Chains A and B, each alone.
Chain A
Amino acid sequence: MALSTGRAAGTASDPAAGGDARGRRHRGERGRLRGSLHRHWYAWAMVTPVLVVMAVLIGWPLARGVYLSLTDATEANIGRTIGVNVIPSSYEFVGLDNYLEILTSDVFWDKLLWTVVWTVVCVGFHYGIGLGLAMMLNRELRFRSLYRVLLILPWAVPAFVAAFVWRYLYNSDYGVINGMLRAVGLSGVGWLDDPTTAKLAVIAVNVWIGVPFMMIAVLGGLQSIPKELYEAAEVDGATPWQRFAQITLPGLRQVSSTVILLGTIWTFNMFPIIFLVTRGGPGSETEILVTYAFREAFTGVRDYSGSAAWGVIILGLLVVLALAYRRTLRRQGEIW
């Protein structure tokens, strides 16, 4: 009915009758576009500021980044102004060469492998430890809120501060970890000098930082599971393990999938820890994709095109993660 009157109004009136149509906004609508403009203009108006900002600050640089990734631009041949001399750009379009070069290089696959290991191990520990602690905190317990607040503390420390603190703890000469080892008669370990221990070290730092978030999120999930379920299960004679596997885990599924995905994305992108704790070293062993691409762009002769190509590849990987995230949200009833 609304549709048919809308059509009628649309054919009957010309642009001059616009004011008239506006007057009858609730009855007739002038064509599909006009009508949806009418109905949705405030929604669009509200979204506009953010879209404009994103288009200018993200869209443009992104487009430019994608373009750079298809050229051979470096610091040496990009256009710039030195004093009064304007040096024109002399880089050229090279098509997919940068991508080919990256995807066929060992360094990319090394970094990708380490990034995946880093992400999986960190998120695994975050979730495992977070779940364990949350289940303990969900019990009736003396000092429960005290434990809770103390356990959240690592989250309150800004990431770069935490990174510096840990670097000091790991310091081979003055660090307390080696100090303790020496105190029990062992020799100190050059924690950040060896690839393996350096990797363990950065993972430990990230686990330390990330557990509180998981713990609190899971605790929230646990508290929303109705207690009657446990009582019924107990009456039916379910063992503690059965109750955990049949009630707790399914009850946590929504929270878990959300936080695990968020955690994965955050860990994948976790810049400050690696950048500040090991500086990617020794060599570039602990460098994950994001820190590697960053360093690529800003050390030596700055390789703008190469780092842009890295960035685009990383973005591609993240979009896959984002798709997974959206699917979980959809399953939870988000409509978009």
Chain B
Amino acid sequence: MTTVTAKRRSREDRGPLASIALHGTLILAVGVALFPVVWLVLTSLKPRDGWLSAELRLFSDSSLDNYARVLGETQFPLWLLNSALVAALTTVLGVFLAATTGYAVSRFRFPGLRSVMWLLLVTQMFPVAVLIVPLYNLMAALGLLNQIPGLVIAYMTIAVPFCAWMMKSYFDTVPRELDQAAMVDGLTPFGAFWRVILPLARPGIAVTAFYCFMTAWGEVGYATIFMSQEDKRTLGVGLQQFVGQHWSDWGLMTASAVLIAIPAGAVFLVVQRHLITGLTAGATKS
């Protein structure tokens, strides 16, 4: 209710009660947002079978036992490597292929523009279920099952339309006058794209790449089916092992979850300011 008033009033004008309510709500929300993450970290620091109780004995018996086991006794490092490789390849290929398309649909009004945009939009939301069987058969026929390139190819179906879409939003924010000026100065449309616009869109490319990386990093469906062989698994598939139907070890699970989430989270917090703009650029510009 009082939310909008605060736009004019300064902090001092707000009643102490309103202040308490406001901070109280936010602290509650932060609590809910953080709790699972905090609990994850705390559990991972328990000794070997510590996860078997919901009790928390902070500092009394924390150990890095789970981490040692994850890194030393399981195939986690291998899965991590697979995931990193798949995600990196997907990102590089996806961004590389999509950059020119993003530029073209952002700048040129050419016959077929509508269909291209429409295609990009629809393919972005393709459910795994439609493509997975034909892709699976295709991969099987080409001998690409359990091969990293095979999974990368499958991820292209997600990454390429998505990247093109994101890049378009960024190119939209780069003033058109720049390419016009570049072309007046004698550059071809390709030259203008390559030498003027692409360098300017570097932050956009970085964010697109990051998004793309995260998508591939967190994908489970394709990976579960395509990478069944133990040493080819990616993280999302491998981790399912730790908490299988007959045997589960949440100690391993939590420790590996922390190891996965920390680098992802760190990068995320650095780029988060830019993340939203790509997706809603058209809407928030106004």
Binding site for B on A (CB under 8 A): 36, 39-40, 42-47, 49-51, 53-54, 57-58, 60-62, 64-65, 68, 78, 80, 129, 133, 135-142, 147, 149-162, 164-169, 171, 173-176, 178-180, 182, 208, 211-213, 216-217, 220-221, 224, 227, 230-231, 234, 240-241, 243-244, 247-248, 254-255, 257-259, 262, 265, 269, 271-272, 275-276, 289-290, 293-294, 297-298, 302, 304, 307-308, 310-312, 314-315, 318-319, 321-322, 325-326, 329, 332-336
Contacts and interface: CB of A to CB of B under 8 A. Distances in A.
A212 B33 CA distance: 9
Interface residues of B, number: 109
A180 B54 CA distance: 8
Contacts of A47: 100-101, 104-105, 112, 116
Given A165-B36, A271-B220, A315-B130, A42 B190 contact: yes
What is the predominant secondary structure among interface residues of chain B facing chain A?
helix
What is the predominant secondary structure among interface residues of chain A facing chain B?
helix
Contact of A217 (B105, B107, B131, B276): B276
Contact of B5 (A78, A137, A179, A240): A240
Given A40-B108, A156-B268, A310-B129, A58 B123 contact: yes
16 contacts: A47-B105, A50-B120, A50-B160, A147-B30, A154-B33, A160-B236, A164-B253, A168-B40, A180-B54, A234-B5, A244-B4, A255-B280, A259-B283, A294-B128, A312-B130, A318-B126
A73 to B, nearest CB: 9
Contacts of B8: 227, 230-231, 234
B240 A276 contact: yes
A169 B265 contact: no
A133 B29 contact: yes
Given A164-B243, A244-B3, A208 B130 contact: no
B11 A322 contact: no
Contacts of A289: 127, 129
B220 A275 contact: yes
Contacts of B81: none
A40 B112 CA distance: 10
B32 A208 contact: yes
B10 A140 contact: yes
B118 A326 contact: yes
Contact of B122 (A136, A180, A322): A322
Contact of B130 (A57, A65, A304): A65
B33 A208 contact: yes
B7 A230 contact: yes
Interface of B: 1-8, 10-11, 22-23, 25-26, 29-30, 32-34, 36-37, 39-40, 43, 51-55, 97-98, 100-101, 103-105, 107-114, 116-123, 125-135, 137-138, 140, 153-154, 156-157, 160-161, 164, 188-190, 193, 214, 217-221, 225, 235-236, 239-240, 243, 250, 253-254, 257, 260-261, 264-265, 268-269, 272, 275-277, 279-280, 282-284, 286
B11 A140 contact: yes
Given A61-B131, A208-B32, A297-B133, A152 B272 contact: yes
Given A50-B160, A54-B161, A208-B33, A158 B282 contact: no
Given A269-B125, A322-B121, A157 B98 contact: no
A294 B136 CA distance: 12
A50 B121 contact: no
A156 to B, nearest CB: 4
